A and B are shown apart, each in its own frame.
Chain A
Amino acid sequence: MINFQFARAHDVADAVRMIATDPTAKFIAGGTNLIDLMKEDVERPSRLIDISRLPLKTVEETAAGGVRIGALVPNSDLAYHPLIEQNYPLLSSAILAGASQQLRNMASTGGNLLQRTRCSYFYDTATPCNKRKPGTGCSAIGGINRGHAILGTSESCIATHPSDMCVALAALDARVHVAGPESTRTIAFNDFHRLPENTPQIDTTLHSNEIITAVELPAKGFKANYSYLKIRDRLSYAFALVSIAAALDLEGETIKEARVALGGVAHKPWRDMDAEAELRGRTPSEATFTRAADLLLRNAKSYGDNAFKIDLARRGIVRTLTQAARATPQSQSDKKIR
């Protein structure tokens, strides 16, 4: 691994001050992605600022009836937190679909949002990659791109965002609380991650001098009708080829509100308001869910190897919405897809 300086932040203001004085420094919390990227020579910070001891480790109910999740709450603690298990089981399920228990014990909530793509060309410093080295080109377009994006791609980049947790957070309309040198602000989850366009080196709308302090969930948790289905090459401990977070608010046989977010298919968790609007007021059925899936995928584009993802996503969306409507969410330990 590269050599670097090490410092520890005492509080959030201290952390923000430290990052502002050194543009080549990086925050480190769980380290599960950053240390790996440093070993691969993809990330080369001059200094690491340890934020792992900042007091951002609680899950608290908000006055609005939602929850505020501290940025340093480990993924495993969050998945098993009673407030999350009871009121936001979609989030618990998505977290437990990702990584391994060891990694979930280390990885933080904020860090999960900021993890970088697992595109093999991004990791391979011997190949061109616009995300790693802007202007060098995209090796995945025309390369081996079985795992790559089908939605929201650009000529610069077809990388995917690897998180499962973020797919559920997108479906649940989370908000990201951040602190900067001057002030704090909140960012709607859908505005937090960005599409690659012609600047794929920028993953999010977080400024370089800002730090994530919390993720807030609104009161509505869709705890009765939800499912998270992750389809991957092996049954556990692999990144998604396609994942689907589905949440329905049913009144009798009528869908009052629907949320669908996709993972493994784009540079960010993918939502489509037209598809969700199509579901509103309808009765759950395969035909209804197929129409929504077709809307979600209407601009899907194959890059060759990943053509199969379009059909896989279509069938996965229908299946996951069906699981949600039947209140039979996908189990993350019994792997049978029913």
Chain B
Amino acid sequence: MTQASIVARRTTSSAPAKIVVALNINGQQRELEVAPWTTLLDALRDHLGLTGTKKGCDHGQCGACTVLVDGRRINSCLALAVMKDGAEVVTIEGLSTSDALHPLQQAFIDHDAFQCGYCTPGQICSAAGLIAEGKATSPAEIRELMSGNICRCGAYPNIVAAIQQAMRQS
């Protein structure tokens, strides 16, 4: 992506120009105009109305904001939307491409892998990234590579079981 793709538009105030960002969100091409300091998380929730992705700590410590960007799991609270121009983003809303639940969503239900559910979209997107990476096989490896997702209800044993089920299906 070159500088030419960044179209800076002056707003009426003296604030820095808003910037047009093109993102492929859950398979749909979207264009939005954001201030430079808008995080990907805020762009998803406040600009695109995709509130499935949750804001927990907003400092990269809890993992509730985890989404897949170009196939990799990241903390969307620490990513600037302007820096992701041209990227493909998958959120919990787009994880399943059909009317059926994604295998991870079904596995989380089957294993009762949540209580309050606030961390769940981040857990599931993170688990999707984990499965795609293919580095975890044992429960210990799953726990270690899921440690960026905190569950304050403590559903961890069931989360690991759900991920193992989805892994067997993938």
Chain B residues closer than 8 Å to A334, beta-carbon distance = 140
Contacting pair A101 B148 (CB below 8 A): yes
Contacting pair B80 A35 (CB below 8 A): yes
Contact with A along B48-89 (1 / 0, CB 8 A): 000000000011100100100000111100111011000000
* Closest chain A residue, CB of each to CB of B59: A36
Contacting residue for B19 out of A6, A36, A52, A237, CB 8 A? A6
Check A315 for interface membership: any CB of B closer than 8 A.
no
A333, B142: Cα distance in complex, Å: 9
* Known pairs A5-B36, A10-B2, A101-B129; A50 contacts B83 (CB<8 A): yes
Chain A residues closer than 8 Å to B37, beta-carbon distance = 1-4, 38
Contacting pair A4 B16 (CB below 8 A): yes
Chain B residues closer than 8 Å to A8, beta-carbon distance = 3, 6
- Interface segment, one of B107-115, B130-138, B160-168: B130-138
Check B120 for interface membership: any CB of A closer than 8 A.
no
A28, B60: Cα distance in complex, Å: 16
Contact with A along B102-127 (1 / 0, CB 8 A): 00000000000000000000000010
Contacting residue for B73 out of A4, A6, A50, A101, CB 8 A? A101
Contact with B along A65-82 (1 / 0, CB 8 A): 000000000001000100
| Residues 27-59 of B at the A interface (beta carbon under 8 Å) | 35-37, 39, 58-59
Check A187 for interface membership: any CB of B closer than 8 A.
no
A181, B19: Cα distance in complex, Å: 29
Contacting pair A102 B144 (CB below 8 A): no
* Known pairs A4-B16, A102-B63; A31 contacts B73 (CB<8 A): no
Contacting pair A101 B36 (CB below 8 A): no
Contacting pair B80 A237 (CB below 8 A): no
Check B93 for interface membership: any CB of A closer than 8 A.
no
* Closest chain B residue, CB of each to CB of A96: B144
Check A105 for interface membership: any CB of B closer than 8 A.
yes
Contacting pair B19 A100 (CB below 8 A): no
Interface size class of A (residues with CB under 8 A): 35 or more
A8, B8: Cα distance in complex, Å: 12
* Known pairs A52-B83, A333-B140; A105 contacts B78 (CB<8 A): no
* Known pairs A32-B60, A101-B129; A236 contacts B16 (CB<8 A): no
A8, B84: Cα distance in complex, Å: 12
Which of B37, B39, B63 has most A Cβ within 10 Å? B37
Contacting pair B78 A32 (CB below 8 A): yes
Chain B residues closer than 8 Å to A185, beta-carbon distance = none
Shortest C-beta distance, B93 to chain A (Å), equals: 19
Contacting pair A102 B74 (CB below 8 A): yes
* Closest chain A residue, CB of each to CB of B61: A237
Residues in B lying within 8 Å of A, measured CB to CB: 1-3, 6, 15-16, 19, 35-37, 39, 58-60, 63, 66, 72-75, 78-80, 82-83, 126, 129-130, 133, 135, 138, 140-141, 143-145, 147-149
Residues in A lying within 8 Å of B, measured CB to CB: 1-6, 8, 10, 28, 31-32, 35-36, 38-40, 48, 50, 52-53, 76, 80, 99-103, 105-106, 235-237, 332-335
Q: List 16 A-B contacts (CB under 8 A).
A: A1-B37, A4-B36, A5-B16, A5-B36, A6-B16, A31-B78, A31-B79, A38-B37, A50-B82, A53-B1, A101-B126, A101-B133, A102-B66, A236-B143, A237-B147, A333-B140
Rank and list the top 9 A-B pairs by shortest CB-CB distance, nearest first: A100-B148, A6-B36, A236-B147, A333-B144, A237-B147, A333-B141, A1-B37, A105-B72, A102-B148
